[in-house]
């Protein structure tokens, strides 16, 4: 992260390269914006790491991106959102947009009353995920499958 960023880009952060799909969607919808993508590939996958580690990495990365002029941060990683979004929000003044598993839209769209979720172990065991299920899918059957090794 030694290189200077373009003046005031929107930073997109993921543990790996999966967030590139988020970046592409943002570029398509916001063509006037400059973006910077940070993949924390040195420490992927996040899904099997302790929550405290993910929280510390997330805050460290967000602070570094803020110092380099990012005007907002998109956390393009469900695991980083589950483990670190609140800590990142507390540590920086950047506006934060954080991805979450699509429990709410899945609950609205299911015809069978069953929702399938594949995610990292850390995401599925997080309080944030449990809260999403309770708030939006409590009346549905949720089949949650952990995917060890998923970034």
Q: How far is CA 21 from CA 24, 81, 95, in A?
A: 5, 16, 20
The per-residue pLDDT of the chain, averaged, comes to 94
Domain 10-98 sits in CATH at: 3.40.50.1860
* Contact between residue 33 and residue 87 where contact means Cβ atoms under 8 Å apart: no
Q: pTM for the complete prediction?
A: 0.89
Find the farthest-apart pair of alpha carbons in the chain and give their distance in angstroms, rounded.
50
Asked whether this chain's domains 10-98 and 103-146 adopt the same fold, the reply is yes
Q: Average of pLDDT values for 76-103? A: 96
CATH assignment of 103-146, given 3.30.750.24, 3.90.1170.50, 3.40.50.1860, 3.90.480.10?
A: 3.40.50.1860
Domain ranges within the chain, ordered by starting residue: 10-98, 103-146
**Confidence tier at 109 by pLDDT (50, 70, 90):** very high
Alpha carbon distance 46, 82 (integer Å): 11
**Which pLDDT tens digit goes with each residue over 6-36?**
579 999 999 999 999 999 999 999 999 999 9
């Amino acid at each position: 992260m030694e290189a200077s960023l373009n003046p005031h880009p929107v930073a997109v952060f993921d543990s790996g390269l999966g967030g590139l799909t988020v970046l592409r969607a943002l570029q398509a919808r916001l063509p006037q914006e400059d973006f910077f993508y940070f993949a924390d590939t040195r420490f992927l996958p996040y899904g099997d790491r302790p929550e405290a580690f993910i929280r510390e990495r997330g805050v460290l990365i967000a602070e570094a991106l803020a110092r380099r002029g990012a005007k907002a941060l998109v956390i393009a990683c469900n695991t980083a959102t589950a483990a670190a979004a609140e800590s990142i929000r507390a540590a920086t003044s950047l506006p934060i947009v954080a991805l979450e598993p699509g429990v709410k839209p899945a609950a609205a769209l299911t015809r069978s009353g069953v929702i399938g979720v594949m995610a990292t172990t850390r995401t599925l065991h997080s309080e944030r995920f449990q809260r999403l299920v309770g708030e939006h899918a409590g009346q549905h059957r949720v089949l949650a499958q952990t995917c060890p090794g998923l970034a």
